[in-house]
Structure 1
Amino acid sequence: MSDPFFLIRVLLLLAAANGAPVVARKLLGNRFGTPIDLDFKLPDGKAILGPGKTIRGLLVAVIATMLAAFVLGLSVSIGLALGATSMLGDLIASFIKRRLGLRPHAQAFGLDQIPEALLPLLVLQDRLGLSAIDIGVIVGAFTAVEVILSRLLFRLGIRERPY
């Protein structure tokens, strides 16, 4: 297993990528909240991603992750790649949730956490020098931390719904 402090820094990058859109929505409300799918529907009438996946959220996530990488002593390019692939994992999960008929913001434990943590770690595995065990530890920690923080942020009025 890699240095635990390094794994914590990677976990913090994932937290930045996934927390920044929540904070931006709280601070900005619906301003700049254009849905990524532009509200287009597939032939079955279901949304592609849903209204919660916005261009604002995507941009804020990537920028926040780049800044977090810089602050944590990692390269900004790692922050860019991790933020972008984490959001891609989140978009894939949203697409799957829409195909399953789940409403936007519906909770799907595992599907709401794993793709956004696992995809960037697999893409950046070699660059970050992560083993399969490291990836499993980070994904598990991310899932646990996200569920706990979600409830805390809900109590603080930052999130609309807890997990």
Structure 2
Amino acid sequence: MFDGNLTRFELDGTVEHREGQQFVNGKGFAGDRFERVHRIEPHGFASNPVKGGIGVAMSARGNRDSAYVFGGENPGLRPSVDLGGVKIYDHTGNVVSVVQPEIRIVHSAKVHIIAPEIILEGVVFLGGPGASRPVSAEGTLDSAGHAETSNFAAGVFAT
């Protein structure tokens, strides 16, 4: 039966970057080995696949030396995703998710945002969703005894 020169491809964890392209090693469905296979990703997305990732290898013109791999997700690392949801994740459990009306960023150490200007629009809760004490309000005295003359941080609450 003609299979369109496609095979299931399991990555062995070897990743090589050369001249802006990524090459991987792995094995096909029948255990046949592939080396330095060009892995294809869409524009604007870059990742390093991990060992055990599953993709599909396509051999151009039926030639094993002209194979390309698409995909490479490791089923054991994939987070659950609600219908219509999106999650960007890495091999250590860090996740950025877009689910229903919420964007959620989870990281174990630090979230670092870099920009010449950062705009937060809306109510801001510092310390968690239960924060209820306004951070700064008109008449509040600072540590030097100076009073706030207007509500600079209206809508910003802390725990």
TM-score, L = length of structure 2: 0.24
Of Structure 1 and Structure 2, the greater helix share is in 1
Q: Which is greater in Rg?
A: 2
TM-score, L = length of structure 1: 0.24
Of Structure 1 and Structure 2, the greater strand share is in 2
